[in-house]
């Protein structure tokens, strides 16, 4: 059985990427299982998706604990333990990262036992799907058919653009000699038994769920979830305050002159402000890398 | 032709194929995709049904029950807290003997709040009068929707039916699914017979009946029980017919490599396919292990279960639920079914695992089989085992240390 795990942020197209790969395997005659995993928060929050493909019926379910291939859409996830990119990686796993860093730099930073490949084609989602398909030996014809199935809701032009991007990523991976190795789950006699324990009684003062730290959301850098950044054009702004009123995260406050200021550490990039602004004084700018953008923001703050 | 569908997508297809006419709805994760899919179809003119968004699950089940009493085919769906919020009306509409189908996408209950599945939500509805079918694959979801309508609408039953699928593990998971042909569905499940409905326009009937003294009450309640039990016979008949039409067979109790097994797993839901994966591994090394899985949980198929477990050395009962102060619910149900049975298994061992979506690893299935084998050989029954590791407790204690530090900081302030 082949086990592939995709990591990205909500909105980067990694659920779709996993579905394109799933459909491609299915069209190639495999039994398939694909599924995304995310919590209550969606856009910009770390998520993952997985695909299983086998020639036989698949009984395994749930998260993949020993992946053969891990595909990462966003290198800012690598330093985020909660994203779980490294979970279960073995020396036989292959790690494909969408990044502008070199494989050597990433290897040094991550210190993982597996081989690392870097993908630079954009946009991330469709490129990751195409690159993974190439690494898994799926023909371009089948990949294209799967992509058309999964992207049926897109316009002709969007589809053409996606195809171009996919082709680019597919070609980029053709040059590599790295291969995805199908790893076996441990068999019955060699499996390590779980370390089950008797769960002791503990006093209700610690065994009932509670959060003691207050205002913990202030410490949560939800700004790193942004894929698009709202930017206010102060010259156009009439200080009507609608963006401040509609911001669902309270991330827009007014300065002493009544002009709105966006708190980029907590703005998730939902762009409701952009939609609400009656004077079109807010535009959206793609985030290159969220961590990079926050550094820029801090720099700006330090400068001013 | 097979296609890839999520469990939620398969449920929506089941509703469409069954020709549901009225769909009261209220959103909740992880069920929402079902009503979203149906509403898109209705909007696009692909599916002719009336969907009404309600103000709560309590109203939703009330609307479903009242509509069903007028003889239209009704569908609704919920999860977790939504099912609990509807609980008062679940019991009430079952008492009206109003047949409709409710999909529950299992999600563990508060507190603490979570999104991932276990079975405490659907088992809270165990005694409501709703029949319960538990699915293990996306294919089963679409097929069981059709079976559920036939079952609930049958004159010998006339009760609402819950079709349960596990959140995430089925709801958001795509698998290859063969959709039954529409013409086959029409033969298997003809349109509702309006003549049997108690309520018709211009001909008022009240089902809000009050009785005192207990005698009449006992009559009505026992009649509901008798109708529920009739579900066993009806399910047998309709699954036989369904198998003839589609080639897919759904006995009330699924048995996997159980016939010559010494040790079997007894469990419900989608994790049972994980058990199958583990069983195949153990069989490859000569271990005689199998699976017995009730698909129908209400009515409880006692006879089929007793037969499937006859002469087994040990049964590992895996409960993805916990009845506080007692333990696993399936364990207690199974024990009561077996106590007076001839040739009952030598030992039943209780395991509780997979709470709130916690994964159950293949190694844990191996270990459950080993523990049960040892119990059968020694006659010493181990205490119920919660699947929880040293590493998990260490992690929990790490979180508690952080909480303690936060509490101290707060007190210093």
Q: What is the pLDDT along chain A (304 residues), one digit of tens a residue?
A: 999 999 999 888 999 999 999 999 999 999 999 999 987 767 788 999 999 999 999 999 999 999 999 999 999 899 888 899 999 999 999 999 999 999 999 999 999 999 999 999 888 999 999 999 999 999 999 999 999 999 999 999 999 999 999 999 999 999 888 889 999 888 999 999 999 999 999 999 889 998 887 788 888 888 988 888 999 999 999 999 999 999 999 999 999 999 999 999 999 999 999 999 999 999 999 886 444 444 445 444 444 4
Q: Which of B8, B361, B382, B409 to mutate to test the interface with A (most CBs of A within 10 A)?
A: B361
The pLDDT value given to residue A290: 44
Interface contact B172-A35, CB threshold 8 A: yes
User: What pLDDT, on the 0 to 100 scale, is given for residue A288?
Assistant: 67
- Tell me whether residues A199 and B173 touch, CB distance under 8 A: no
Contact B169 A194 (CB under 8 A): no
For residue range B373-408, what is the model confidence (pLDDT) as tens digits?
999 999 999 999 999 999 999 999 999 998 898 888
CB < 8 Å & 24+ apart, contacts of B189-198: B189/B18, B189/B19, B189/B146, B189/B149, B189/B150, B191/B19, B191/B73, B192/B21, B192/B71, B192/B72, B192/B73, B192/B153, B193/B71, B193/B153, B194/B71, B195/B71, B196/B71, B196/B155, B196/B158, B197/B69, B197/B70, B197/B71, B198/B69
Contact B176 A32 (CB under 8 A): yes
CA distance A98 to A102: 10
For residue B247, whether the previous peptide bond is cis, meaning omega lies within 30 degrees of 0, is no
Q: Which of A22, A193, A206 sits opposite B363 (nearest CB)?
A: A193
pLDDT interval class at B198 (50, 70, 90):
confident
Query: Which of A24, A84, A212, A218 to mutate against chain B (most B CBs within 10 Å)?
Result: A212
Residue A220: predicted pLDDT? 85
| Residues in chain A closer than 8 A to B393 (CB atoms) | 197, 199
Residue B261: pLDDT band with limits 50, 70, 90: very high
Q: Confidence class of residue B199 from pLDDT cuts 50, 70 and 90? A: confident
Task: Convert the pLDDT of each residue in B53-92 to its tens digit.
Answer: 999 999 999 999 999 999 999 999 999 999 999 999 999 9
Q: Which two tokens stand for residue B175?
A: 């698998």
Torsion sign over Cα B339, B340, B345, B347: positive
pLDDT of residue A41: 66
> How buried is B368 (Cβ within 10 angstroms: 0-12 exposed, 13-18 middle, 19+ buried)?
buried
Contacts of residue B406 in chain A, CB cutoff 8 Å?
211-213
Q: Name the closest residue on chain B to residue A60, using Cα atoms.
A: B274
**Chain B environment of A33 (Cβ under 8 Å):** 173-175
Cα of A161 to nearest chain B Cα, Å: 25
Can you give the pTM of this predicted structure?
0.93
Interface of A with B (CB under 8 A): 19, 22-23, 26, 31-37, 39-40, 58-63, 65, 185-189, 191-197, 199, 206, 209-214
Q: How far is B413 from chain A (nearest CA, A)?
A: 12
Percentage above 90 pLDDT, chain A:
75
Instruction: With beta carbons under 8 A apart, name residues in chain A contacting B176.
Output: 26, 31-32
Calpha distance B406→A211 (Å, rounded)? 8
Identify from B277, B358, B360, B399 which residue to disrupt to test chain A contact, counting A C-beta atoms within 10 A and taking the largest count: B277
User: What confidence tens digit (pLDDT) does each residue in B105-156 have?
Assistant: 999 999 999 999 999 999 999 999 999 999 999 999 999 999 999 999 999 9
Size of interface A-B (CB pairs under 8 A): 112
Task: Nearest chain B residue to A49 by CA: give it.
Answer: B173
Q: Are B111 and A209 in contact (CB under 8 A)?
A: yes
Q: Using a CB-CB distance cutoff of 8 angstroms, which residues of chain A are in contact with residue B361?
A: 65, 194
- Partner residue facing B388 (CB), from A187, A197, A210: A197
**Confidence class for position B196, pLDDT limits 50, 70, 90:** confident
The answer to whether B4 contacts A22, with C-beta atoms less than 8 Å apart, is yes
pLDDT tens column, A173-224: 998 888 899 998 889 999 999 999 999 999 998 899 988 877 888 888 889 8
In a mutational test of the B interface, the residue from A82, A196, A219 whose CB has the highest number of chain B CBs within 10 Å is A196
- Cβ-based contacts of A62 with chain B (< 8 Å): 168-169, 274, 359
pLDDT for position B200: 81
Q: With contact defined as beta carbons under 8 Å apart, do A93 and A87 qualify?
A: no
Of A19, A35, A209, the CB nearest to B112: A209
What does A34-54 look like in DSSP terms, one character per residue?
Answer: EEEE--S--BTSEEEEEEEEE
Whether residue B268 is predicted with pLDDT greater than 80 in this model: the reply is yes
Nearest CA to B68 out of B137, B3, B160 is that of B160
The nearest alpha carbon in chain A to B401 belongs to A206
Is the Cα dihedral B328, B333, B336, B337 positive or negative?
Answer: negative
Q: Which residue of A has its CA nearest to B172?
A: A35
Helix segments in A136-203, DSSP class H: 140-150, 156-174
Q: What is the pLDDT of residue A162?
A: 96
DSSP B262: S
State the Cα–Cα distance between residues B413 and B408, nearest whole angstrom.
Answer: 9
Q: Report pLDDT for B323.
A: 98
Helix axes A140-150, A124-135, angle to 10 degrees: 140
- pLDDT at position A82 is 86
The two tokens of residue A287 are: 């985030």
What residues of A are in contact with residue B115 (Cβ under 8 Å)?
A: 39-40
Inter-chain contact B390–A197, Cβ cutoff 8 Å?
yes
**pLDDT class of B367 with cuts at 50, 70, 90:** very high
Closest alpha carbon to B371 in B292, B325, B318: B318
- How high does pLDDT run on average in chain B? 96
Q: How confident is the model at residue B329 (pLDDT cuts 50, 70, 90)?
A: very high
Nearest to B4 among A32, A189, A192 (CB): A32
Nearest-CA distance A24 → chain B (Å): 11
Q: Which of B2, B4, B286, B409 to mutate to test the interface with A (most CBs of A within 10 A)?
A: B4
User: How far is residue B372's CA from residue B313's CA, in Å, rounded to a whole number?
Assistant: 9
B389 strand-pairing partners: A196
Decide if B388 and A35 are in contact by the 8 Å CB cutoff: no
């Amino acid at each position: 059985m082949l086990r592939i795990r995709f990591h990205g942020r909500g909105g980067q197209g990694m659920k779709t990427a996993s579905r394109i790969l799933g459909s491609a395997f299915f069209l190639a005659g495999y039994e398939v299982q694909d599924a995304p995993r995310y919590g209550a928060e969606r856009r910009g929050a770390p998520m993952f998706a997985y695909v299983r493909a086998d020639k036989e019926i698949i009984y395994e379910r749930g998260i993949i604990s020993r992946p053969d291939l891990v595909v990462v859409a966003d290198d800012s996830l690598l330093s985020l333990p909660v994203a779980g990119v490294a979970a279960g990686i073995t020396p036989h796993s292959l790690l494909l990262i969408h990044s502008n860093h070199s494989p050597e730099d990433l290897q040094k930073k991550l210190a993982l036992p597996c081989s690392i490949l870097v993908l630079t084609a954009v946009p991330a989602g469709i490129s990751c799907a195409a690159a993974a398909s190439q690494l898994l030996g799926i023909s371009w014809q089948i990949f294209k058919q799967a992509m058309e199935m999964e992207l049926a809701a897109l316009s002709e032009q969007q589809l053409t653009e996606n195809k171009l991007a996919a082709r680019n990523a597919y070609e980029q991976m053709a040059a590599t000699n790295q291969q995805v190795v199908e790893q076996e789950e441990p068999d019955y006699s060699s499996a390590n038994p779980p370390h089950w324990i008797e769960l002791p009684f503990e006093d209700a003062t610690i065994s009932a769920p509670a959060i003691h730290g207050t205002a913990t959301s202030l410490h949560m850098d939800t700004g790193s979830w942004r894929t698009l950044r709202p930017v206010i054009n102060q010259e156009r702004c009439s200080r009507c305050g609608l963006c401040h009123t509609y911001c669902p995260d309270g991330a827009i406050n007014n300065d002493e002159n009544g002009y709105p200021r966006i708190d980029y550490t907590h703005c998730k990039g939902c762009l409701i402000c952009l939609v609400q602004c009656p004077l079109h004084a807010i535009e959206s700018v793609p985030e290159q890398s969220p961590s990079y953008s926050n550094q820029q923001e801090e720099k700006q703050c330090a400068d001013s | 032709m097979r296609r890839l569908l999520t469990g939620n997508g398969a449920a929506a297809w089941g509703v469409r194929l069954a020709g549901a006419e009225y769909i009261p709805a209220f959103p909740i994760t992880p069920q929402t995709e079902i009503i979203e899919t149906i509403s898109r179809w209705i909007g696009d003119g692909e599916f002719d049904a009336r969907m009404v968004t309600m103000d709560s699950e309590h109203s939703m089940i009330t609307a479903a029950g009242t509509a069903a009493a007028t003889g239209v085919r009704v569908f609704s769906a919920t999860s977790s807290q939504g099912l609990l919020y509807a609980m008062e009306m679940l019991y009430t509409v079952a008492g009206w003997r109003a047949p409709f189908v409710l999909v529950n996408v299992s999600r563990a209950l508060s507190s603490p709040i979570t999104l991932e599945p276990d079975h405490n939500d659907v088992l809270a509805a165990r005694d409501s009068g709703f029949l319960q079918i538990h699915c293990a694959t996306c294919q089963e979801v679409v097929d069981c929707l059709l079976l559920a309508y036939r079952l609930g609408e049958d004159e010998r039953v006339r009760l609402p039916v819950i079709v349960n699928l596990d959140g995430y593990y089925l709801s958001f998971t795509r698998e290859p699914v063969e959709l039954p042909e529409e013409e086959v569905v029409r033969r298997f499940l003809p349109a509702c017979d309006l003549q049997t409905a108690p309520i018709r326009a211009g001909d008022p009937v009240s089902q809000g009946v009050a009785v005192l003294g207990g005698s009449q009450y006992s009559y009505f309640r026992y009649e509901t029980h008798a109708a529920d039990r009739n579900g066993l016979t009806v399910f047998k008949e309709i699954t036989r017919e369904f198998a003839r039409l589609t080639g897919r067979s759904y006995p009330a109790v699924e048995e996997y490599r159980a016939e010559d097994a010494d040790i079997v797993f007894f469990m419900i839901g989608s994790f049972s396919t994980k058990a199958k994966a583990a069983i195949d591994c153990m069989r490859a090394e000569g271990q005689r292990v199998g699976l017995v899985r009730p698909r129908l949980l209400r009515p409880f198929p006692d006879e089929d279960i007793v037969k499937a477990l006859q002469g087994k050395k040990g049964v590992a009962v895996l409960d993805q639920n916990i009845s506080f102060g007692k333990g696993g619910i399936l364990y207690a149900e199974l024990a009561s079914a077996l106590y007076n049975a001839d040739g009952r298994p030598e030992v039943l061992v209780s395991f509780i695992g997979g709470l709130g979506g916690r994964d159950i690893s293949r190694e844990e299935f191996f270990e459950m089989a080993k523990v049960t084998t040892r119990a059968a050989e020694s006659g010493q029954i181990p205490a119920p085992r919660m699947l929880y590791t040293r590493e998990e407790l260490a992690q929990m204690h790490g979180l508690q240390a952080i909480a303690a530090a936060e509490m101290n900081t707060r007190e210093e302030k």
